[in-house]
Chains A and B, each alone.
Chain A
Amino acid sequence: MTDQLDHAEETGSRDIGRRRFLGYLIAAPTLAVGVSWIAGDNPANAAVPTLPQPEDIFDLGDLQNLAAAATSALISVQVNKDGTASFALHRCEVGQGITTAVAMLIAEELDLPLDKVSITLADALPELLMNQLTGGSNSIRSIGLPVRSAAALARSRLVATAAAKWDVPAEEITTADGVLRHGSGRSADYGSLAEAAAVSTTVTVEAPTLKDPKDYRIVGTPQNRIDALDAVTGRKQYVLDLPVPDAKPTMVRRPPTINGKPNAVRNEDAVRAMPGVLDIAVVTYGVAVRCETFGQCIDALRALDVEWAAGTVDGESDESVLGKIKRAQLPLAVPPLGALTVEAEFTFMFSSNAALEPDNAIADVRSDRAEIWATLKVPIVAQGDIAAMLGLPLDKVAVHVVTGGGSFGRHLFHDVALEAAEISKKMGKPVKLSWSRTDALRQGRAHPMSVSRIRASHLLGNVLTFEQRHTSSETSFSHGLGEMITNFAAELPIAGNLSFAESIFLLSQSVPYNFGVVTQLLNEVPLKFNTGSMRNIYSPNTVCAIELVVDQLAAKMKKDPVAFRREFLRDDRLRAVLEKAVEVGQWGKSMAPMTAQGIGLHGEYRGAVAVLVEIDCRPETVNRPVEHGVTGPRVTKAVIVVDAGLPINPRGLEAQMIGGLNDAIATALTSSMHIVDGLPLEGSWDNYFYTRQWNTPPEVEVVVMPPTTGQPSGAGELGVAPAFAAVACAYARATGTMPTTFPINHGTLSFEPFPTQPYTHESPTDGLDSAF
């Protein structure tokens, strides 16, 4: 072994900011490196800003970063003999582009072409503890630095290996496009040194120097998704596409109310005799049928005659839930001051985070082991729950994380994977379980109804107080994030014994204006709906409420909405994106009657966004006929300006902004759940009116601001809240009436609901009639 290699194996560490990294050369046939990321000293007691809110100091992502810090030891990059690099990502790809962004970081630090980096999704790794959670728009924020460090270490090891082989100083070796070069003319591609650079015993090494951002050639440049070709050719595989042997199509007949349970099946033998039916099993929340095809599952589950027991919210309706929420509202502190007060209350109806890919999972449960395939953002918790349910040791339950067809919060939970395991155990066979579309909407998790009340007071051109009381039906965070809070509560710069929901609220919310005394409080009503977070959690609703009231305050002070925001903003990054949006979107231009511009601002995840939209509320637009669809006002144009701190992939960032905009248009104008007698009425996509082509803006421009902070912000959820606010504010300006219930069309039921039993609809037979 040469001097250079001996030197490289000395134990060392490197401080980056306040975090310390340890590098490892991992014993493997070809070069494998890892870094461990050790939390440094606690942050020093910073000067307390004027009137701080918790989110300003320490946000949800910081908390996740901290939770991830201690357990990043397995961040590892492998260099293969074909010159490619591999990385098993301990996060879940559901469309947000995390695999592409991570591939870019690795390609950057390793000096490899992007197409030579291959990313797979890691199985559930219990040793990662809570560092295997995909959520809170936190992936790049929490793992970006360790991933870059690992890639940089791999590069430095390759350089050291070449230096030893060529007997030249390492500093004289350059790397580019996967090739090492020396001035003497010698060169080698990475693959040719992948074995020589490997070690047979894992050792700690000097932590690497990261590339200077000014030398970036990939990070910060627009790149296409690494899975795009697979997506457009139909080769991209989702859970239902996996050819797991004997995992036959399986579906479940479900109860007439949320979380109802089966008492008895009256015609099991008759259904078992139907074509294609293989197995039937009574499970916790229904009756499962396993068949040769999913079509036969639909026929069989519809034919089942089941006696049902009550569910958990029987008899609850929109009205009853709203009543309970209003009774649970926390009091406002400042009394109404007549003409000096602006007060408003906004109701946000239940909405569904269901992805287009219905909830599904494959389970192969045997007597002594189990194997699960599912899209899971918290796979460790899923693995633990499944193992407990099956009565198997954790290491006998393999959980494979599969790329998902959307998530929007849905895959934080593992309900469907747990159910698949239960069915497989009861049937004694592998199952490929899919919820029906109606199951996903009626029994799947929903973002709960909430009411946001705001009271603001102003005097002599100043806003003196701004109070927000946000009250919600319970949002479930049972996916295990709670452990992080427990573990790190002592680290939080906020006092008190907060519940988890309150913590999430405090760590994600702030009012970006100089409004004197600002308070934002959350209360939740413990109703047993199946709930969970939807993209951007509380913020779309709270920010919509804030920005509508900001426009009201501006109107009372006879100020233009943008002029008012300029005057009261207390955040320079928001100010900058506002000015850019005003310029690009031509704020204040002449608009026809019943059309208007609206502006919404929001900072979160250490990013800042301004959205400027134009809405058309003219009758000829609102009343456009679309069969089995809803139309209503149309957002005709949107400008989204985003400051993401350090944009990794501007093209992916732009995609997330566009997606957030379309989500916001849906929740502002068209999409909600109507709860009647303990069940949502919505049963399919022409009931749940997510944004469609006829309601999406023909014109959208996304402006990605140049790097500001040097650190990437969150991206996946960042655009939803400001877009929601902008649409609501534009609607209020166009119609002259501030909307107070969202979506604005909730009062009109625009479809004929499916029956309550059975509700998974029979497939039509007339599909050829609509061919075009």
Chain B
Amino acid sequence: MSQHTFTVNGAQVTVDVADDVRLLWVLRDILGVTGPKYGCGINVCKACTSHINGKAFNPCSVPVSKIKSTDEITTIEGLPATVGKDLHPMQEAWLEEDVAQCGYCQPGQIMAAVALVRKVRAEGRQITDADLDTLRNICRCGTYQRIRKAIKKGAQRM
């Protein structure tokens, strides 16, 4: 057991847990942050997608020891705070398109979508169908068409 300190959704946390426990379980089982979901545990389904310092990543595949004290972890619960409103524009777009069905993948989808839009924007481009094709997040309900519409809509407001 050792202590690990970092920031989750704007609040500094310290946890006492073995170094190799993946961050997903630190978030879910120790800190009770349950927005990131378990769908595979091997960085494949992307249901746990969250942000580290603003970039999308999958905490199921990062040992807590790799998280530095200066790192800021943002899960779906902390996403609105990044714009200072109740909802992030991507979440608003998600509601307008009524994307979710069962909803299980949706926190990860939204976190991935926000990061994708930021990345494309940093490259000085608008988001394209080819960009959307690169998203690996699985939606087993098959909401893909509404996801695509919502991302395009959310991107215009970010």
A437 and B40 form a contact (CB under 8 A): yes
Q: Is the CB of B132 within 8 A of A693?
A: yes
* With contact pairs A225-B98, A275-B1, A356-B105 given, residues A770 and B66 touching in the complex (Cβ less than 8 Å): no
Q: Is the CB of A233 within 8 A of B100?
A: no
A296: B residues at CB distance < 8 A: 18, 21, 25
Contact in complex: A236, B143 (CB < 8 Å): no
From B24, B94, B140, A406 is in contact (CB under 8 Å) with B140
Q: Which residue of A lies closest to B140 (CB)?
A: A356
Q: Which residue of A lies closest to B53 (CB)?
A: A771
A660 within 8 A of B: yes
Contacts of B39 in A (CB 8 A): 356-358, 437, 685
The answer to whether residues A658 and B143 also contact, given A231-B106, A293-B17, A436-B41 and a CB cut-off of 8 A, is yes
Measured CA separation A275–B21 after assembly (Å): 10
A contact residues around B62 at 8 Å (CB)? 765, 767-768
Number of A-B pairs whose CB atoms are under 8 Å?
235
* A293-B21 contact, Cβ under 8 Å, with A232-B94, A357-B104: yes
Q: Is A123 interfacial (CB-CB < 8 Å)?
A: no
- Bin the interface of chain A by size: 35 or more
A670 to chain B, nearest CB (A): 12
B41 near A655 with CB under 8 A, answer no
**Cα-based distance from A719 to B143 in the complex (angstroms):** 14
A336 at the interface (CB under 8 A from B): no
A356-B100 CB under 8 A given contacts A292-B29, A763-B41: no
* B59 engages A767 (CB within 8 Å): yes
Contacts of B75 in A (CB 8 A): 234
Q: Name the residue of chain A whose CB is nearest to the CB of B133.
A: A694
The count of residues in chain B whose C-beta lies closer than 8 Å to any C-beta of chain A is: 77
Cβ-defined contact, B29 with A691, below 8 A: no
B94 close to A357 (CB less than 8 A):
no
For A643-671 the 0/1 string (1 means CB < 8 A from B) is 00000000100010011111100000000
Q: Mark B78-100, 1 if CB is under 8 A from A, else 0.
A: 00100000010001001100111
Whether A295 and B21, one on each chain, are in contact in the complex, defined by CB atoms closer than 8 angstroms, is yes
| Among candidates B42, B105, B135, residue contacting A764 with C-beta atoms closer than 8 Å | B42
Give Cα distance in the complex from A651 to B146, angstroms. 11
Question: Is there contact, CB below 8 Å, between A357 and B37?
Answer: yes
Contact with B along A688-713 (1 / 0, CB 8 A): 00111110111010000000000000
User: Is A355 an interface position by the 8 A CB rule?
Assistant: yes
Of the listed stretches A63-71, A238-246, A737-745, chain B binds A238-246
B103's contact among A231, A294, A651, A766, by CB below 8 Å, is which? A231
Q: Say yes or no: A771 contacts B76, CB within 8 Å.
A: no
The reply to whether B98 and A240 form a contact with Cβ atoms under 8 Å apart is no
Segment touching B, from A90-98, A491-499, A565-573: A90-98
Q: Which of B1-47 contact A (CB under 8 A)?
A: 1, 17-18, 20-22, 24-26, 28-30, 32, 34-45, 47
Q: Please list the residues of chain A having a beta carbon within 8 angstroms of any beta carbon in chain B.
A: 94-97, 224-225, 227-238, 240-241, 243, 249, 275-276, 292-296, 298-299, 354-358, 403-408, 434, 436-437, 628-629, 651, 655, 658-663, 684-686, 690-694, 696-698, 700, 760-761, 763-768, 770-772
A-B contact pairs, 20 of them (CB 8 A): A95-B102, A232-B87, A232-B99, A243-B32, A293-B28, A293-B29, A294-B41, A355-B140, A357-B104, A406-B141, A437-B41, A690-B140, A693-B132, A693-B134, A698-B148, A763-B61, A765-B20, A767-B43, A767-B57, A767-B62
Additional pairs, 8, CB under 8 Å, beyond known A437-B45, A693-B136, A767-B62: A228-B100, A230-B103, A295-B29, A658-B142, A693-B132, A693-B135, A767-B43, A768-B66
